[in-house]
A and B are shown apart, each in its own frame.
Chain A
Amino acid sequence: MRVPFSGEQDPIHLPIHLRCFATLEGGEARKAPQGRRKKVGPSEVALTFDTETTTDAAQRLRILFYQLRVRGELDEEGAAYDPDALSQREVVTLKRYCAERGLPPPITVDVFRQQVFLEKAYSCGAEIIGLNLAFDLARIAIDASPARVTSWRRKMRGAFTLKLSEESRWPKLQVKHLNSRAAIYEFTAPGRQFASRSDRRREQLPPTQRGYFTDVRTLAGAVLGGSHSLASLTATLKTPTQKLRTDEHGGPLTFGYLDYARADVQATWECFEALCERYRSYGLSTPHYELFSEASLGKATLEAMGVRPWLSGNPSPDPQLLGKIMGSYFGGRTEVRWRKAIRRVVHTDFTSMYPTVCVLQGLWRFITADGFTTRDSTEEARAFLAAIGTADLQRRETWRQLTTLVRVRPDHDLFPVRAPYGGEHHATIGLNYLTYDGQLWFTMADCIVAKILSGKAPEVLESITFEPGPVQRGLKPLKLFGRHEIDPRRDDLFRRLIRLRIDEKERAKTLDGAEAAIVRGICDALKTTANSSSYGIFVQVNVATEDRGVATRVHGPDGETFTTRSRKIETPGPFFHPLLATLITGAARLMLGLAEHRAATEGLDWAFCDTDSLALTKPDDMSDADFETRAQRVVDWFAPLNPYGLPDSILKVEDANFSHVDPSCRVPLYCLAISSKRYVFFNLDEDGRPIIRKGSAHGLGHLIAPYGEHDPAPGIPEPVALEEGRDGLERWQHDLWFKIVEAELAGRLEHLQFDYHPALRGPAVSRYSATGPELLRWLKTWNEGKAYAQQVKPFGFLLSLHVKRKKRGKAGEAHPIAPHDTNLKRAVRGAFDRVTGSAVEPTLLQTYQEALEHYQRSPEGKFLNAQAFDRGRTERRHVLATDVELIGKEADRWEESFFLGAGVDPTISYGRDPASMLAALAELRRAAEEFGDAPVAEAVGLSRATVAKVRQGGSVSASLRAGAISARIDLLQDQRTKADQDAARMFFDLRELVVAHGGIRPAARKLGRDASNLQRLLRRLATAISKADAKAVGEV
């Protein structure tokens, strides 16, 4: 069923955001003076340590345990303590503990830092191992400051420098936070000569020892995927030492607590060993200490097969072509169709969506090729688009013809549109009808989606087809897990990985015990490798923030190139290949589009979609059995597209559709979606109460759980069968969804109060880590005058709070924060404004209840019928693009950054070509002369002074968009014309009345108005009409 564009809908005027390709003006940053030398890897020594701290704001070190190992064998184990943080009695307890456990007498942290950390670990090139290492390193340091970095060490910009010794002959340590799982660690060059005079004369100069650091959490994230704690890791890896539990943090030292702390070090080491062992089995050559995420694993896999990154073979790619490619790039599609309405659904998702579309399009040929070639394929693309139907897309060979980008002039065409819908702080992507008086690039897949969903194919103005170059030389087979040989010249890596995973999964079913666990581990590894090497690495862009704007060359999609100044510098990642990224996400959107089309063909609708999943909904007048049959037909339609040599469909029915008690039994599944990423799946029990099966934590993740598992909300049943791992909900999040569903079932969703647990009446608190100097600076007032040990230190926690909406006027633009405290009530009492440093009254702070009060009303600005109180089916918008704004890498987790109020704009905007700016100024000047400063200022959102300045020939620093200004001035013009018409109508009506009543006075009496006022009104209207007439005559 096609849904053509309804021309009745009023278009929304918006600037659209497009990705562009940006480079530093004048090329890359200067290289380090010594050049880059290969890292030799750590020595045979490894230092593992873990700190225990106080639970107050300073999180000061109390004790630490460490192990020094040589070639994996334990050589030295011991404890260290901060004498100022322990009582005499605790020191005695620690000494007694060490004596009884056969450990050497405990040392002070100063001795540990000097004699163990610097003299043994640093000097010997040891590997330093820990879990949440950045936090531990900041605890043992003696001071911290923002890192000062040279231009060739830009990667450490925004890092902390930790001081480890008062003597300059020892190095400092720089730590740069990357994400919640990873950081970069490097020793600085010490202030002493490491080479003797004769060595220096003989040019025998060793490079600076930067050190080798392994955060087990980072390694686990790369090898196993996902986020892990020590407890989850020891359980997953089944290490001999499991993480112990304790409630004694911050309490007096006991033998039990010391056993706990000591076991953590051993468990950390065992996890490290197990992860290294698992990583070694992959047969990859990248050292483990260079893995930062799953993406590192993907890169390592490609490197092990001798695949040369596209950029290394083409160091100077055509930036204009890259501008076009980046302009066509959009991420995954996430949309809500049925909003705030409970629908019976079948939840489906595609098997390994990105690897699958890579295989179908044959993108492995591009990855293993020496570059690519382009050819003009305009006529071919027109014919292809005119002829293509959904049946063609059921044939795998069709997908290999999608390596094409198309230039179109969108005219009511259905395309992914990235725009700041509804005045949101962040541009989001919605599949909407787009009209633009310019030309844009899209993938062929997007054009097909437009055709099959709206029935109208976009008009092709130009088309470029990409073909892989010759096969790279130097490719070599890789033996994964010592068993599976993958030859990059013969095999498609993604096909092999996914097929191997399917086979291994089947094999695991026939095994049990330890063998099954090993095979399941291999399955996970195959999945991680396939996902990590099939998408993200191709669009990886690293962003560094400079202190001041740096000249940046921006290449837009329509061939425009201009220079602007930007504080954020984007550097392409090693496997940057934007063509692949745009083709992959484009094809994934096509898959979803096909699923949507098939659903419509079967008479079904959908509740929401998210990148690779779609919840099919049952129409009200359809029986359950009929619905299941039709949904199954939608699923089966995709079977011929399975590229793994199997008869199954690549669209799968999710586990949530089956009973949580008996997974072989299908049960009715319901969905309640609020916005794109806020949805819940549930079953209904015999009493009609919801059983939450799967929910999203979107918009909740930044809040600390107001209550835990052991303090559940009254009247809410225990959660059952929650999805394990990352998709799992915390107890309070489960309860929130339960209450939302319950309220919707009772028809009182809009009146839902989040008051079902006393903890929700407390201030809403978010916990953040002081991961950069900018964040730590917020605590400058708090830290002032305190010794380092008593300060809130780098990577320590801080709490963020919000002022009640109603009290905002009173409290001004307050940004309350509080130092960390496990006792939230006490923490809140210490809240202060991070800007002024003045205390913030706890009564002014927003409670959980208030923070969540609009959660179930979250609007979806990108669609119609999706405002806060709207419910039911959303409709696609018609976007009239007023202009194009060029942007860089899109921010992750922007909503949380917004909540934190970091004061740093997470998006990278390059604005527009300066020529466009000049056009905008000219337009503004003309409008100000015509309408006056005040109405123009109001229409375009600038101050009157700014408009006056522009009218007098000046310039402005604000980013003006010519298209946006034209649109708003057109609007102003329309309003003026309408006002003139109204005035004319009123004038003639009044004049008629005056004539009919024989004069102004009788007419005024009839109208109940003062006669002189009526006369003045008539004069004013007559003047307005004559002015409008004069203008019209002038225009003629």
Chain B
Amino acid sequence: MNERQIAELRRADKQARLLGTRHPICRVCGISDRRVRFERHHVVARFAGRRLCEATVILCRRCHDRVSDMQKDLPVLDPSINPALAVRINRARGEAQLLALVAEQRIADADELLAIALAERLQPEADQ
């Protein structure tokens, strides 16, 4: 092993410990390239400044930034409400945001595939 390989293995090991797997996949865009940085996204936003639920999903950094940004737009809950209910509310909202992002991503994927398909269909005509 040379220095570069060792450094790469160290990063991979640190990432594996953080993510709980040595084979991470982004749950939104589906990327699994080991050079991509993956992170754990807390599905349930904080309530009254406290982290009440540790439920996480693995996302690539790009998707994590996007969903975290969306999380910032969530309306702030009244700190006097029941914390257990607050967790359920934030979980539902968090999951909805993720699903929205997945939907957005899937539409983008579909558009991309459609563009490829169209390009492939037009190619033979152009050749002729």
A58-101 with Cβ < 8 A to chain B: 68, 70, 75-76
Q: Is A123 an interface residue (CB 8 A)?
A: yes
Smallest Cβ-Cβ distance to B56: which chain A residue:
A203
The reply to whether B42 and A207 form a contact with Cβ atoms under 8 Å apart is no
Bound-state CA distance A100–B22 (Å) is 40
Smallest Cβ-Cβ distance to A43: which chain B residue:
B13
The reply to whether B13 and A123 form a contact with Cβ atoms under 8 Å apart is yes
The reply to whether A125 and B16 form a contact with Cβ atoms under 8 Å apart is yes
Q: Which of the residues A45, A75, A120, A209 comes within 8 Å of B17, measured between beta carbons?
A: A209
Bound-state CA distance A38–B1 (Å) is 28
The reply to whether B6 and A119 form a contact with Cβ atoms under 8 Å apart is yes
B87, chain A: closest CB distance, angstroms: 16
Q: Is B106 an interface residue (CB 8 A)?
A: no
Q: Which of A41, A45, A206 has the most CB of B within 10 A?
A: A206
B5-25 with Cβ < 8 A to chain A: 5-6, 9-10, 12-22
Q: Which of the residues B1, B13, B20, B21 comes within 8 Å of A125, measured between beta carbons?
A: B13
The reply to whether A203 and B1 form a contact with Cβ atoms under 8 Å apart is no
Bound-state CA distance A120–B5 (Å) is 10
Q: Is B27 an interface residue (CB 8 A)?
A: no
The reply to whether A204 and B18 form a contact with Cβ atoms under 8 Å apart is yes
Q: A41-B22, A206-B18 are in contact. Are A123 and B10 (CB under 8 A)?
A: yes
Contacts of B21 in A (CB 8 A): 40
Size band of the interface chain A makes with B: 20 to 34
A-B contact count (CB 8 A): 56
B69, chain A: closest CB distance, angstroms: 13
Contacts of B12 in A (CB 8 A): 43
Q: A76-B1, A120-B1, A209-B13 are in contact. Are A37 and B6 (CB under 8 A)?
A: no
The reply to whether B22 and A43 form a contact with Cβ atoms under 8 Å apart is yes
The reply to whether A44 and B17 form a contact with Cβ atoms under 8 Å apart is no
The A contact surface, by secondary structure, is loop
The reply to whether A206 and B6 form a contact with Cβ atoms under 8 Å apart is no
The reply to whether A40 and B9 form a contact with Cβ atoms under 8 Å apart is no
The reply to whether B10 and A124 form a contact with Cβ atoms under 8 Å apart is yes
Q: Is B91 an interface residue (CB 8 A)?
A: no
Smallest Cβ-Cβ distance to B68: which chain A residue:
A202
Bound-state CA distance A204–B61 (Å) is 11
Contacts of B16 in A (CB 8 A): 40, 43, 125
Contacts of A124 in B (CB 8 A): 6, 9-10, 13
The reply to whether A44 and B9 form a contact with Cβ atoms under 8 Å apart is yes
B37-64 with Cβ < 8 A to chain A: 39-40, 42, 51, 54
Contacts of A209 in B (CB 8 A): 13, 17
The reply to whether B18 and A123 form a contact with Cβ atoms under 8 Å apart is no
Contacts of A203 in B (CB 8 A): 40, 42, 51
Q: Which of B6, B13, B19 has the most CB of A within 10 A?
A: B13
Q: Is A35 an interface residue (CB 8 A)?
A: yes
Bound-state CA distance A120–B7 (Å) is 9
The reply to whether A38 and B20 form a contact with Cβ atoms under 8 Å apart is yes
Q: Is A194 an interface residue (CB 8 A)?
A: yes
Bound-state CA distance A35–B20 (Å) is 13
Q: A119-B6, A124-B9, A202-B39 are in contact. Are A35 and B17 (CB under 8 A)?
A: no
Q: A204-B18, A205-B18 are in contact. Are A120 and B13 (CB under 8 A)?
A: no
B88, chain A: closest CB distance, angstroms: 20
Contacts of B14 in A (CB 8 A): 194, 206
Bound-state CA distance A207–B14 (Å) is 9
Q: Which of A41, A75, A203 has the most CB of B within 10 A?
A: A203
A119-149 with Cβ < 8 A to chain B: 119-120, 123-125
Bound-state CA distance A753–B51 (Å) is 76
Q: Which of the residues A40, A44, A204, A205 comes within 8 Å of B20, measured between beta carbons?
A: A40
Bound-state CA distance A573–B14 (Å) is 31
Bound-state CA distance A37–B15 (Å) is 14
A121, chain B: closest CB distance, angstroms: 10
Smallest Cβ-Cβ distance to B40: which chain A residue:
A204
Bound-state CA distance A1006–B10 (Å) is 106
B78, chain A: closest CB distance, angstroms: 24
B60-108 with Cβ < 8 A to chain A: none
A187-223 with Cβ < 8 A to chain B: 194, 202-207, 209
B16, chain A: closest CB distance, angstroms: 4
Bound-state CA distance A35–B55 (Å) is 12
Bound-state CA distance A70–B5 (Å) is 11
A208, chain B: closest CB distance, angstroms: 8
Smallest Cβ-Cβ distance to B12: which chain A residue:
A43
The reply to whether B9 and A45 form a contact with Cβ atoms under 8 Å apart is yes
The reply to whether A68 and B39 form a contact with Cβ atoms under 8 Å apart is no
Bound-state CA distance A205–B51 (Å) is 14
The reply to whether A123 and B6 form a contact with Cβ atoms under 8 Å apart is yes
Smallest Cβ-Cβ distance to A37: which chain B residue:
B20
A298, chain B: closest CB distance, angstroms: 27
The reply to whether A40 and B22 form a contact with Cβ atoms under 8 Å apart is yes
Bound-state CA distance A309–B124 (Å) is 62
Contacts of A38 in B (CB 8 A): 20
A703-735 with Cβ < 8 A to chain B: none
Bound-state CA distance A194–B18 (Å) is 11
Q: A40-B22, A68-B1 are in contact. Are A206 and B9 (CB under 8 A)?
A: no
Smallest Cβ-Cβ distance to B37: which chain A residue:
A204
Smallest Cβ-Cβ distance to A204: which chain B residue:
B39
The reply to whether B6 and A70 form a contact with Cβ atoms under 8 Å apart is no
Bound-state CA distance A280–B110 (Å) is 41
Contacts of B42 in A (CB 8 A): 203
Smallest Cβ-Cβ distance to A202: which chain B residue:
B39
Bound-state CA distance A120–B3 (Å) is 10
Contacts of B5 in A (CB 8 A): 70
Contacts of A44 in B (CB 8 A): 9
Bound-state CA distance A124–B16 (Å) is 11
Contacts of A202 in B (CB 8 A): 39
The 28 listed contacts between A and B (C-beta, < 8 Å) are A37-B17, A37-B20, A40-B17, A40-B19, A40-B20, A43-B12, A43-B13, A43-B22, A45-B9, A68-B1, A70-B1, A75-B1, A119-B6, A123-B6, A123-B9, A123-B13, A124-B6, A124-B13, A125-B16, A194-B14, A202-B39, A204-B39, A204-B40, A205-B18, A206-B15, A207-B17, A207-B18, A209-B17
Binding site for A on B (CB under 8 A): 1, 5-6, 9-10, 12-22, 39-40, 42, 51, 54
Q: Which 3 residue pairs spanning A and B have beta carbons closest together?
A: A125-B13, A206-B18, A124-B9
Given pairs A43-B12, A75-B1, A120-B1, 9 additional interface contacts (CB within 8 A): A40-B20, A43-B9, A123-B13, A124-B13, A125-B13, A194-B14, A203-B40, A203-B51, A207-B18
